[in-house]
Structure 1
Amino acid sequence: MTATAENLALDWLTGVGTPTRPTTPLTVALVTTLGTDTTAGTEVTGGTYTRQDLTVAAGVNGATANAADIVFAGMPAATVVGVEVWDSATTPVRLWYGPLTTERTTAAGDDSRFLAGDLTLALS
């Protein structure tokens, strides 16, 4: 989770203030350089790449995963090293980030797909 998301979760769990729920749908972005808790990574650009909506299953044991396939069609030539999850506010807020288990290299026009259950979001 990003520092922003961690603070929202803490405020909600402890009843401090009135944290605002992220604007949905949540979207998934692919990155070629990983970000940090406070700085976004370098998002893929080119081809017909666009962020994709994320639907998740109910949390179990502190984790959830994508409930449906996520398909990024028409990728540019790129090496994807991680993903980020953003809300869909007018000024989007980054909530999660992390590396892929295995980097993905795409050629121009390729699709990049995460099958249902492949993308896990966890609290630990």
Structure 2
Amino acid sequence: MTDTGENRVVNWLFGSSTTAPTLPLKMALVTAAGNDATAGTEVTGGSYARKNISVAAAVNGGVANSADLVFAGMPACTVVGWEIWDSFGTPVRWCYGPFDASKTVAAGDEFKVAAGAWTFSAS
């Protein structure tokens, strides 16, 4: 999780805040990884846009995407990871991570994250 995401979850858990993410949550693709404090370099160009992500109820502290995420009309780039943002007026980045393998796409290609292929665990 990002520093912001960790702080908001802990604040919620211990009652000092009830600020939850503004839904829907969206997956962003990155060409350079970020870290807890700094966002990665998000894909830009082509028809790329963040995609709404839906998940089933958590099992053993983890979730997976419940539907395919299809990013059509990608620009030429190499995708190395993902970030999850909320839909607040100034979106908040909640978590991030790498894909199992980087993928190079040509201009106009699609990048697909099949249902169940993306997972997130709180542990």
Runs of 4+ more than 3 Å apart: none
1:62 corresponds to: 61
TM-score after normalising by structure 1: 0.96
1:115 aligns with 2:114: yes
C-alpha separation between the residues in 2 aligned to 1:23 and 1:34? Answer: 24
C-alpha separation between the residues in 1 aligned to 2:89 and 2:65? Answer: 23
Sequence identity of aligned pairs in percent?
A: 58
Which string of whole-angstrom CA distances, capped at 9 and with x for unpartnered residues, describes residues 55-93 of structure 1? 011000010010100000000000000000000111000
Stretches of structure 2 lacking an aligned partner (at least 5 in a row): none
C-alpha separation between the residues in 2 aligned to 1:18 and 1:11? Answer: 5
Q: Is the 8 A contact 2:64 2:116 kept in 1?
A: yes
CA RMSD of the aligned region, Å?
A: 0.7
Q: Is the 8 A contact 2:8 2:17 kept in 1?
A: no
Q: CA deviation at 1:19?
A: 2.9
2:24 corresponds to: 25
1:34 aligns with 2:40: no
TM-score after normalising by structure 2: 0.97
AA aligned opposite 2:95: W
Number of aligned residue pairs: 123
C-alpha separation between the residues in 1 aligned to 2:43 and 2:17? Answer: 34
The residue matched to 1:121 in structure 2 has which SS? strand
The residue matched to 1:103 in structure 2 has which SS? strand
AA aligned opposite 1:80: V
The residue matched to 1:61 in structure 2 has which SS? coil
1:72 aligns with 2:71: yes
